[in-house]
């Protein structure tokens, strides 16, 4: 016993009740649905560039869209090295270039001694700027009880 499927007339008014299954065709109205709007699809109407695009918000003074700088723009953020090993070697090279003070290896991080250095000023041994000792990257171990203390600021420690 075989079951036969009965073909139904098309539900769209533009097709005028045509039975597409009898003619081995797709409904042209149903096939074109979704090509004019929505999130998916690859129809030519979705490829809108510049101010024709719905998400276009304008251009920056450098000529890039406001959402994101172009990769070729001089103001684009450079990601730098991608994997962790390269990040470590770049940081080491940068520290070698800087003239780190001789006490840097024995220096203390300010986090464990915050209560002792609250309200104390610090002078960066590399760039000479004055800042709060709490904001330093490293503090000289010999200067904990002095004001101001020798330190390395966070800008020079990077």
Question: Are the beta carbons of 11 and 19 closer than 8 angstroms?
Answer: no
- Ordered alpha helix ranges (H), the chain: 28-31, 84-97, 114-117, 154-157
Provide the pLDDT for residue 11.
92
Instruction: Please state the rounded mean pLDDT for residues 96-110.
Output: 77
How do strand 149-153 and strand 136-139 relate by DSSP bridges? antiparallel
27-41, 44-58, 65-79 — which is least confidently predicted?
44-58
Q: How many domains does the chain have?
A: 1
98 or 119, which is more confident? 119
Under DSSP, the state recorded for 108 is: B
Q: Enter the pTM of the model.
A: 0.39
Q: Which helix (H) or strand (E) holds 11?
A: none
Residue from 112, 133, 137, 113 nearest 122 by CA: 133
Higher pLDDT, 33 or 11: 11
Answer whether residue 66 is part of any domain. Answer: no
What does the alpha-carbon distance between residue 100 and residue 63 come to, in Å, rounded to a whole number? 41
Residue 91: inside a domain: no
Residue 4: per-residue pLDDT: 66
Beta-sheet pairing, 121-124 with 149-153: parallel
The pLDDT assigned to 46 comes to: 57
Q: Is 71 within the bounds of a domain? A: no
**Is residue 95 domain-resident?**
no
Domain contains 27: no
Q: How far apart are CA 133 and CA 135, in angstroms?
A: 5
Instruction: Report the alpha-carbon distance of residue 43 to residue 31 in Å, rounded.
Output: 11
For residue 48, being part of any structural domain is answered with: no
Per-residue pLDDT tens digits for 123-153: 888 888 888 888 888 888 888 888 888 888 8
Q: Is residue 122 part of a domain?
A: yes
The verdict on residue 72 lying in a domain is no
Average pLDDT for 5-29 = 88
The answer to whether 113 and 145 are in contact (CB under 8 A) is no
Summarize the confidence of residues 58-76 as an average pLDDT.
83
- Residue 120 domain boundaries: 104-157
The pLDDT assigned to 135 comes to: 87
Host H or E run for residue 125 = none
Which segments of the chain are extended strands (E)?
A: 121-124, 130-132, 136-139, 149-153
């Amino acid at each position: 016993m075989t079951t036969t499927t009965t073909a139904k007339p098309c539900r769209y008014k533009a097709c005028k009740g045509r039975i597409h299954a009898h003619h081995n065709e797709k409904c042209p109205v149903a096939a074109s649905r979704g090509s004019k709007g929505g999130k998916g699809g690859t129809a030519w109407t979705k490829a809108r560039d510049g101010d024709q695009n719905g998400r276009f918000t304008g251009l920056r003074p450098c000529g890039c869209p406001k959402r994101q700088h172009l990769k070729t723009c001089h103001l684009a953020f450079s990601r730098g090295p991608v994997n962790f090993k390269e990040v470590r070697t770049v940081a080491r090279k940068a520290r070698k270039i800087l003239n780190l003070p001789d006490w840097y290896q024995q220096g203390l991080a300010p986090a464990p001694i915050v209560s002792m250095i609250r309200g104390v000023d610090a002078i960066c041994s590399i760039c000479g700027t004055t800042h709060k000792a709490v904001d330093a990257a490293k503090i000289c171990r010999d200067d904990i009880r002095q004001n101001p203390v020798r330190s390395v600021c966070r800008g020079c420690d990077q």
